[in-house]
Amino acid sequence: MGRKKAVVLQELCVACGCCAKACPKDAINIINGIYADVDYSKCIGCGFCVKACPASVIKMEVLS
Ligand code: SF4
Ligand code: SF4
């Protein structure tokens, strides 16, 4: 079983950047001002971004 990672529902993301600011590992980038993208080589699964997202479009999932 793998570690939990942050998964963004990108079609619902409003690109506010709150998740990127909250991430202690600088693992989230806002792509073209449209959606948030998680760099899974950096994400440690802390879940801070989930709490920071005003649109509640980030979930923690176990990625294989
Ligand atoms: S779970 Fe933590 S490390 Fe991963 S993207 Fe969210 S804030 Fe960053
Ligand atoms: S905090 Fe939520 S809505 Fe804002 S950029 Fe991140 S995923 Fe998108």
| pLDDT of the residue at 37 | 98
- Which atom number of ligand 1 is nearest to the Cα of residue 46? 2
Instruction: Please provide the distance, in angstroms rounded to a whole number, between the alpha carbons at the two ends of the chain.
Output: 7
Q: Which CATH number belongs to the domain containing residue 41 in this structure? A: 3.30.70.3270
- CB of 23 closer than 6 angstroms to any ligand 1 atom: yes
Return the sign of the alpha-carbon dihedral for residues 47, 43, 55, 48: positive
Task: Determine the Cα–Cα distance for residues 63 and 38; give it in Å rounded to an integer.
Answer: 12
5-61 confidence digits (pLDDT tens): 999 999 999 999 999 999 999 999 999 999 999 999 999 999 999 999 999 999 999
Phi/psi at 15 (5° precision): 60, 35
Ligand in nearest proximity to the CA of 19? 2
Measured CA to CA, the distance from residue 55 to residue 64 in angstroms comes to 26
How much is the pLDDT for 63? 84
Tally the domains of the chain. 1
pTM: 0.94
C-alpha of residue 20 to centroid of ligand 2, in Å: 8
Query: Given this model, what pLDDT does residue 1 score?
Result: 57
Quick check: CB of 48 below 6 Å from ligand 1? yes
